Amino acid sequence: MTFTDTEEAEQEVNEMSSKAPPVAQVLGVSDISPTPVEEVDVRLPEPTTETGLKVLFLSSDTGGGHRASAESLAAQFERIFPGSTYALLDTVERDGVYPYNSLVSWYKHLGARPQQWKFVYAVSNSRAFEMMADVHLKLMCERAVRRRIMIYDPDVVVSVHPLMANVPCLSCAKITKKTGKKLPMFTVVTDLGSAHCLWFANGVEQMYVASDQIRLLAKARGKVPDEKLVQYGLPIRHDFAVQAEFLGDRMSGDGKAHQLKVRNDLELPSVERKTVLVMGGGDGFGSLSDIVDALYVEFVTRGIDANIVVVCGRNEVLKKSLEERNWENVLENYRIMKESGDRGPVMSSFGSDYCTSRGTGNEAVCIGGDITQNLRRILSSGSLGKESALSSVPMATLPDGMTTPPQSLSVSSGRSSPLLSLPESDEDEANKTSPDVTPTRNARTIQLDQVPLMDTQIPVPLADPDTSVSSYEAPRHDEAEIPGKVTVTGLGFVTRMAEYMVAADILVSKAGPGTIAEAASLSLPVMLTSFLPGQEEGNVDYVVDGKFGAFCSDADPLGIAEEVSGWMLDDEKLAELSKAAKAMGNPNAAAEIVKAIGDSTWKWKKINRGELSEETSSQSQQNQEE
């Protein structure tokens, strides 16, 4: 591509922008305000060394995972191909049309309202929408996207976002045809267990996937041929690879010595104690406050000495409340709650999640999704697999002889913690029961402890004059004679996440793919507590099927705490989970992806310069594969 081409492209983009009517005018509405954009299109600087490449990443800030993947890949380009230059471009926000160009502003709203997210994701992930969006975006946006890419004048284009696959792929093909020089494009899918159909544009040079599940989706939904699919793992930051090398076997003597050193470096209190790292995502999704309360109570009452380290992200209200929290009040409120037979915040209706726990107290059983989906999604510890779904659903033991839970059956209570009363924060608002799920007026309400426990003998029902249903005596844990010593530490944004994961023995988190991949790379067991329906649902399966963690809904904080406490008291279980996590992780995935992309790009650069023929390159590649 020549400099004249980029000047011509820039001029045409400016002309198109000035002539294009406003979005509101096109749609016939007046309440759509454009998202302000601060980026400035510039031609990528020339590499500073002979080994460098000019790399254009396509991504969007719909969550932190896409940008984090792009940054991890960019760092590897600088390390493996010194002198490389790069830029990050959001073609949907810059050149997209409504509604696609509004996704960044919608993300936080939808992320805090799972039922709305579920609807939007399900509709957009359908075959009909895929075809419509493909035609719509190519027709309305492709020309502007092509011209904008030409302004940057890259050697290679790498997409890490599903909405930036089909259109840029076509644009790169047209640029290649116009200039007579190959502009290769690659896709790096940043999902683990489930992925949106728009990821799979099979016109790319190669597509990098992180799991068998994504490989199968790419072949089924995108008809991507095997020769274009490369499976290394999810790209994560280089410091995870560094820490993984130092850590080695987490459960070995050397591994424990390195863990102790990292805890000292991080200035954690009482470094000899086991540590639980609790995360809810940078945008504050997840009921962190309730979960931390429940963990504290379980550890103290079961005699577990522990550190609870909480990554609050942007949630300054939560961080401050943890610093000022009266933990004696938390314990006292828990004792009152136990005496009243209330487990605390559970699901508001069977229309969302239904959670219970086994009588042993160390194995939480959680069923995610709507009741109609329960047979498809049975999520618990590794001992409860999909094959045991039918035997695990406690349908036959519901009160009053019910064999199936009616749609109107609801479970108490609200979203506020029974352990501590706090002023409502943004997170509290975000975690209130979604208005999409509303119990009927005549709904029958039962306490969670009134549901008989699986694999246990049904207790004798007791007369309850205040309700129309029978109640049951729930088994209680024996409190330890010596209470556990527990310290809670709240953190804001963390830049040393790899070290905190080394310091931890268990991670409690939402089902973000990047977080799961980071934990696996450091052989860290994972307790998942929430997921975005559709998009992150498969990530839960990835962890549970991989046998390095479990899922329990954040609607049952005590269930989460009971399961985690069981792991903390069982070193053999922790070692088993850690070994499985190590088998699923690849801390060097980013480096391997970049090496493959860079080598392929250099091949095309030499062909474009006439230094290498395409036939010779193909023959050389075949010889290497053989």
Question: What ranges do the domains of the chain cover?
Answer: 3-236+589-625, 248-584
Sheet containing 364-367, strands listed edge to edge, beginning at the edge strand earlier in sequence = 354-357, 364-367, 379-380
Percent of the chain with pLDDT over 90: 46
Between residues 422 and 578, the one the model is more confident about? 578
C-alpha gyration radius of the chain: 26
Measured between its terminal Cα atoms, the distance across the chain in Å is: 34
Collapse the DSSP code of 98 into the 3-class scheme (helix H, G, I; strand E, B; otherwise coil) and give the result.
Answer: coil
Q: List pLDDT tens digits, range 305-348.
A: 999 999 998 888 899 999 999 999 999 988 787 677 665 543 32
Strand partners, 411: 446
| DSSP element (H, E) containing 123 | helix 114-124
**Choice among 161-165, 279-283, 288-292 with the minimum mean pLDDT:** 279-283
Interatomic CA distance for residues 451 and 448, integer angstroms: 6
CA angle centred on 520, ends 516 and 521, rounded to 5°: 115
Q: List pLDDT tens digits, range 504-514.
A: 999 999 999 99
Between residues 203 and 425, the one the model is more confident about? 203
Task: Decide whether 3-236+589-625 matches 248-584 in CATH topology.
Answer: yes
Interatomic CA distance for residues 412 and 340, integer angstroms: 13
CA angle centred on 331, ends 325 and 332, rounded to 5°: 110
Report whether pLDDT(524) > 90. Answer: yes
Query: Are 160 and 92 within 8 A, CB to CB?
Result: no
354, 364, 367, 517, 622 from 378: Cα distances, Å: 11, 12, 5, 22, 45
Interatomic CA distance for residues 162 and 149, integer angstroms: 17
pLDDT, mean of residues 163-189: 93
Could you tell me the fold of the domain covering 3-236+589-625?
A: Rossmann fold (3.40.50)
Interatomic CA distance for residues 182 and 1, integer angstroms: 9
Interatomic CA distance for residues 175 and 258, integer angstroms: 51
Interatomic CA distance for residues 543 and 538, integer angstroms: 9
The whole-number pLDDT of residue 562 equals: 94
Cβ atoms within 10 Å, residue 132: 12
CATH no., domain 248-584: 3.40.50.2000
Strands (E) in 85-152, as ranges, are: 85-89
CA angle centred on 314, ends 105 and 125, rounded to 5°: 40
Strands (E) in 256-406, as ranges, are: 274-279, 306-311, 354-357, 364-367, 379-380
